[in-house]
Amino acid sequence: MSAADRRNNRRTVAAYEGYARGYAAAVSSTPSEHAAADLRRFAAALAPPARVLEIGSGPGWDADFLETLGAQVRRTDVTAAFVRFQIERGKQAYSLDLLADEIEGTYDGILLLYVVQHFERDQLDGALRKLAQALTARGVALLSHMLGDGDEWEGDAGDYRVVRWSAAAMDERLRQAGFAVEWESFIDSEQRPWRSVMVRKLG
């Protein structure tokens, strides 16, 4: 990871530190019909009692929903303000920087929604390998990415790094990390196309 890439990621994290509570207030605590359907399909692929690692848990709304489906969720985020927010509402949440930290233990499933767009292209492969190493044999991961090409800074102050991937390019990176794609879904959020993809660890 280059120093410039690391600085870009830390700039994005710092922006979330200042906006975490505003984000929690702005995002519905109940998943949309589309998001709920994806989470149900993900949960259905897990053998109970499934242990799920959520990376980038944010306010924890998706974890709340997954727990109603029987999953045991370990909530993590690189943003300390999100971790504090969840603890204040009575949840257990932990700090985890996927780019810098090792993942302790193994899990039946990993949830990584609206996170990888903040990683530089040279950071993605290492992150995906960590996911594969942290999954049990034939474990599954559900992740989302913004579709397209190129990268940019977003937000009022231009502090949120956004890196776009085509479906084919993302799937090739996933294949190289040891995953097979099982299904995908698409959503146009705020006129920006997003793709969710569930993958299974090979071997």
Residue 189: per-residue pLDDT: 67
Per-residue pLDDT of 19-53, as tens digits, reads 999 999 999 999 999 999 999 999 999 988 999 99
Residue 72: per-residue pLDDT: 98
Task: Write down the pTM of the prediction.
Answer: 0.96
Helix (H, G, I), strand (E, B) or coil at 126: helix
The amino acid sitting at 140 is V
Spell 101-138 as b/e; 16+ CB within 10 A means b. eebeeebbbbbbbbbbbbbbeebbeebbebbbebbeee
Q: Which of 17, 27, 36, 13 is nearest to 59 (CA)?
A: 27
Q: Give me the helix-helix angle, 33-44 and 61-68, nearest 10°.
A: 50
